[in-house]
Amino acid sequence: MRQTKLSYLQGQTQQTLDEIVKHAIDLYYQRFHGQDSNPLARLKQSAFIGSFKAEENLAANSKATLHSLFQQQHDH
């Protein structure tokens, strides 16, 4: 299975086995290096996009909210 994954990566990246292993080590190191450090720094390095505060049922009511906003725009 790993050989299949490696062959796929070599085909997609046109990199040698050595280059792929070096890159994997760098990524792995970045992931774990400094995990005990500043929480804000860890958040900035993560794949987290963002969050916001809103009403609890925002997703459930999104269509109605959007419709209401469109109605308000067309009424003015």
DSSP annotation of 66: H
CA nearest neighbour of 3 among 23, 18, 17: 17
Would you write out the chain's pLDDT as a tens digit for each of its 76 residues? 999 999 999 999 999 999 999 999 998 888 777 666 678 877 777 788 888 888 888 888 889 888 988 888 887 6
Q: Please tell me the predicted confidence (pLDDT) of residue 34.
A: 62
Report d(CA 54, CA 70) in Å as an integer. Answer: 19
Q: Please tell me the predicted confidence (pLDDT) of residue 13.
A: 93
Q: Please tell me the predicted confidence (pLDDT) of residue 8.
A: 94
- Cα-based angle 49, 54, 56 (whole degrees, multiple of 5): 110
Domain residue ranges of the chain, discontinuous segments joined by +? 1-45
Q: Which helix (H) or strand (E) holds 74?
A: helix 62-75
